Amino acid sequence: MSHNPPYIPRPAVLWRSFSFWTWLLFAFLGINAIPDILIQFWFNQSLGFRTIFWTNLTMQLGLFVGYGSLLALAVYAPVRTHAHSQTLRTAGRHIALWFGIVGGWVLSGFYQQFLLALNGVPFERVDPVFGIDVGFYVYRLPAWHLCLTGVEAAAMLGIGACLIARCDQLASARVSAPRGLDIRRTIGSFAVPYVNGLVCVLGTVWALQIYLSRYGLLLKDNEPSGVRTGAEYLDVVGLFSTLNGIYVLCGVTVGLTLVVVSALSRLHAGYTEDGRDSPREAGTMPAAEPSALQLSLKRRAYVGAALLGVQLFFFLAVIIRDYVFVQPNEPYVEQEYIGRHIEATLDAYRLGDVEVHEWILPDDPVTQQELLASQTAQNAPVVAPWVSYLEEPPDIQHLDRIAVSDSTMVFGPVLQIYQQRQKLRPYYDFLSVDG
């Protein structure tokens, strides 16, 4: 009687069970979402806002289908093109759909930002730095950030899927490398056009994100220079400014992206010339011809180093300018930008129309009888503008007071009164009250 030794099942056997339970989980989550949709529909219908429900649902479905399809395509396209294993090709279809469903569901949760971007109206007021209507920052800028983040995630997933599929293709072709194979051929074997294209997309997205970061200067914390919130002198004035530094970094990012994509394309071209995806015996692959390839890569490396040098030079120039010129002349050079912060604060709290009247003491003081006869004085609550507490533990003669009030506060609750009333306006608070 013979017994078969234990062994690890083939991936295809494990995959069937895993995919079944995963699809069952997605089905459960989908069915679980139906009651929430129906309740939201009935609620909007009862308020007479049925069109709002359909507008929201249409935008959610559009984001779900659109971005889900983009993610699924980014993951499955390289698997279909490069994967050799039938198990990986089958799994690629399921995994691509799973990524598409999850990604579409996540982005559909931000439907309100996209609705605002499509239907936002101008504020008829521009910012003091870029001269752009404030409505752009409220409505469209958040949607742009979401779009760039979504494309960035799709490009990264596509690169990862392509590397896995390419690895399977090379393993299936049994491409063997000679001893001492340098890293250039290894990178070249994976630098297929799909990867290079997505690297280009990724670099472009990063450059756009850096460019959009310039709008963060409007909300920058510059408290050390006297500008509590907003751009300071160094941010927007002069050649070596923070704003121009952002532009330089954006250009350097684009240049480095082109250098990397060009180098990857050159490595892949060198690999396909002498290391084709065909079965080979170990040690039979032609030796590398370093002269032309190394010279080409060195040129690209010099260009990349020059771009990094430009960025480092500009970064140091901004710092030196800040220490040598700007800080010694503060707050004189910051007056305009401090004024911008004050104007924006007054405008935000709608305090621009406040009239200031100087109170001049009358020549003849008001008598006690006139003061007591005034209806205003009679209706004015007199609250002690201070707060005092008993020591802990309190003296024995104060135990009755604590038993009645359940507090060690003696008198003067004006601070608590103000804080309680201002809970309806959480954007400011009373820290203390001084009589």
pLDDT recorded at residue 63 = 96
Q: Give the Cα separation of 377 and 371 in Å (integer).
A: 7
Q: Is the peptide bond before 365 cis (omega within 30 degrees of 0)?
A: no
Q: Is 427 helix (H, G, I), strand (E, B) or coil?
A: coil
Task: Sort 150 into a burial class: Cβ within 10 Å, 0-12 / 13-18 / 19+.
Answer: buried
DSSP 227: B
Q: Within 10 A of 336 (CB to CB), how many other CB atoms are there?
A: 12
Q: Give the Cα separation of 67 and 358 in Å (integer).
A: 61
Q: How far is CA 19 from the centre of its chain?
A: 32
pLDDT recorded at residue 177 = 45
pLDDT recorded at residue 188 = 87
105 and 93 Cβ atoms separated by less than 8 Å: no
pLDDT recorded at residue 294 = 76
pLDDT recorded at residue 180 = 41
Task: Sort 357 into a burial class: Cβ within 10 Å, 0-12 / 13-18 / 19+.
Answer: exposed
Q: Give the Cα separation of 51 and 59 in Å (integer).
A: 12
Query: Rounded to the nearest 5°, which phi and psi values hold at 126?
Result: -110, 160
pLDDT recorded at residue 1 = 52
β-sheet bridge partners, residue 222: 227
pTM exceeds 0.85: no
Q: What amino acid is encoded at 345 in this protein?
A: T
pLDDT recorded at residue 280 = 47
259 and 267 Cβ atoms separated by less than 8 Å: no
Q: Give the Cα separation of 370 and 377 in Å (integer).
A: 10
Listed as own residue / partner, the contacts of 344-348 with beta carbons closer than 8 Å and 24 or more positions apart are 344/229, 344/230
Q: Give the Cα separation of 18 and 15 in Å (integer).
A: 5
Q: Give the Cα separation of 213 and 315 in Å (integer).
A: 16
pLDDT string in tens for the chain (435-residue length): 556 677 666 666 778 888 899 999 999 999 998 999 999 999 888 888 899 999 999 999 999 999 999 999 999 999 999 988 888 898 999 999 999 999 999 999 999 999 999 998 999 899 999 999 999 999 999 999 999 999 999 999 999 999 999 998 888 876 544 444 568 888 888 989 999 999 999 999 999 999 999 999 999 999 888 898 899 999 999 999 999 999 999 999 999 999 999 999 988 888 887 555 554 443 444 444 556 777 788 899 999 999 999 999 999 999 999 999 999 998 899 999 999 999 888 888 888 888 888 888 888 888 888 888 888 888 877 666 666 777 777 777 777 767 776 777 666 667 777 777 766 666 677 777 764
Q: What amino acid is encoded at 422 in this protein?
A: Q
pLDDT recorded at residue 271 = 82
Phi-psi region of 350 (alpha: psi -120 to 50; beta: other; left: phi over 0): left
Q: Give the Cα separation of 33 and 7 in Å (integer).
A: 41
Give the pairing of strands 409-411 and 388-389.
Answer: antiparallel
**How far is CA 12 from each of CA 87, 91, 161, 168, 276, rounded to the nearest angstrom?**
6, 9, 18, 15, 29
